[in-house]
Chains A and B, each alone.
Chain A
Amino acid sequence: MADQKEYLRNRADSQIGKIVIDRDLCIGAASCLAVAGATYELDGENKVVVTNADSVDDATLTMSAESCPTKAILLFDKSGKQVFPK
């Protein structure tokens, strides 16, 4: 079972309902922090955690997930369908 953490998103203007961090894949490269510093933090294990799932718009959130060099950030729409990585 993969070590995944889920974070629900409740922005009215957003198509994305959930952010999932795969902690097995995450290496703490922190490119997501560079793109969306208000959304993520690194924890003491050098893994990314979501501190504010609603802080940025969909385009920025998607770019933060795309910037990840290990594809450790998964995005789901409000119906639960995975939208990234495709």
Chain B
Amino acid sequence: MVNFKYLIIGGGVAGVTAAETIRQSDTVGTIAIVSDEPYLLYSRVMLSKPNFFLGKVPFDQVWLKGEGWYKEKNIIFLGGKTVNNLDTIQKKVGLTDGDFISYQKLLIATGTSTRKANVPGADKKSVHYLRSLEDGKGIMENIKTAKNAVTVGGGFIGFEMADLMQLAGLQTTVVLREPFFWDPTLDSASGSIIEKAMEKVGVKILHTNEIVEIVGGENVEGVVLKDGTKIACEVIIFGIGTESHIDWVKTAGLKTNRGIVADEFMKTNAEDVWTAGDITEYKDLLLEENVQMGNWVSAHEQGRIAGLGMVDKKEAFKFVSFYTTQGFGLSVAFVGDVTPGKDRMIISRGSIETDSLARIYIVGSELVGATLINRTQEMGTISKLIGQNIDVSAKHSELADANFDLNKLLT
């Protein structure tokens, strides 16, 4: 059985950043990355960006690390292999091909999977999800001939894919279960700014509806909605959330909830096992609760923290997470904790009329998060206000004043 000092499961940004961090401190210990995809590190973020998708930047820009980098850092890449078994006592993992690999220190950074649609016809070609490079290639190929697209879901993937489809010249229909786009993370005012921008370029939005059947032969020819509406389309893209595939981890005795549970050092409850990236439900020191965050920036930082822990240079993850996107002429950013349904005060900043609206989330005397539409220039400052635990209890009117310079609140 082959043995590595540091074994990393998952070849995305969390795993690769961890490997790089480990190598900075341990120049000789063996490091291997096992990935279920055949590819070296690529930009998952780029997959849904118009410049890349529509060929304005060369395809090869998607590669972030080449073979030379892995060789130079002496990191072994084992691609196209899936781990489905873990033994934390004997310190080994089992692969679906029957092989075993033993480790001294293990990192699980497998990411999440896309939630699949459960309707008749969902297995047809040209029904797409977006997670991997393979998924992206499939969509790119498909839109060359398609004329009509349906996108499902009112989140980041739905927003970016609808933008891409209309930029690619397809008549695009968005199907939402919710009453407005990005509900419940955004409020209806913010949602209306987004929908107005989408409709302005000809995207149709159907609310409180869902697909009950996908029709056609081998390929998609259309969809039937709950209310009986039929829409002809040749491509469907679902952006309806993610799932964590962690049964094998749970069986091994690791503490799991929706993701793999970790402390603020990205350490699991099992000896010599860490976790990082989207799959991780970590202890967030700023929010004082367990959080699972699916984005590039957070995965990068979690990989670094896990890597440091694996070389006994423990550092706590204390990070204000954020995610931004742009499309339909709008920029959208979420900062910190904007999880809906929690009891918190929300201050609006800006207006529908100006197409510029922030919503600032407050718990007690401090900011915990914000949603920003066309105000991304305030993201850096808001991150600092959250991270520095600045008392804003006497500043609510300033926060609500769209022209007030938030930098003045930083001490």
Contacts and interface: CB of A to CB of B under 8 A. Distances in A.
Interface of A: 24-25, 27-31, 33-35, 37, 40-46, 67, 69-71, 86
Contacts of B44: 69
B376 interface: yes
Interface stretch (B78-86, B89-97, B200-208, B377-385): B377-385
Interface of B: 13, 17, 43-46, 49, 51-52, 56-57, 61, 64, 68, 296-297, 300-301, 319, 322, 324-326, 331, 333, 374-377, 379-380, 383-384
Interface core residue of B301, B376, B384 (most chain A CB under 10 Å): B376
Q: Is the interface of A mostly helix, strand, loop or mixed?
A: loop
B131 to A, nearest CB: 15
26 contacts: A24-B51, A25-B57, A25-B61, A27-B45, A27-B46, A28-B325, A28-B376, A29-B297, A29-B324, A30-B297, A30-B324, A33-B383, A37-B380, A37-B383, A40-B380, A42-B324, A42-B380, A44-B375, A44-B376, A46-B326, A46-B331, A46-B376, A70-B49, A70-B57, A70-B61, A71-B64
Contact of B300 (A24, A27, A34, A41): A34
Contacts of A86: 68
Contacts of A46: 324, 326, 331, 333, 376
Contacts of A42: 324, 376-377, 379-380
A7 to B, nearest CB: 16
Nearest to B384: A37
Contacts, number: 85
B58 to A, nearest CB: 11
A60 to B, nearest CB: 11
A51 B66 CA distance: 31
A31 B296 contact: yes
A39 to B, nearest CB: 11
A43 B296 CA distance: 20
Contacts of B68: 86
A42 B64 CA distance: 22
A54 B258 CA distance: 42
Nearest to B320: A34
Given A27-B46, A30-B297, A37-B384, 14 more contacts: A24-B56, A24-B57, A30-B322, A30-B324, A33-B379, A33-B383, A34-B300, A35-B301, A46-B324, A46-B326, A67-B297, A70-B45, A70-B46, A71-B64
A71 B376 CA distance: 20
Nearest to B24: A59
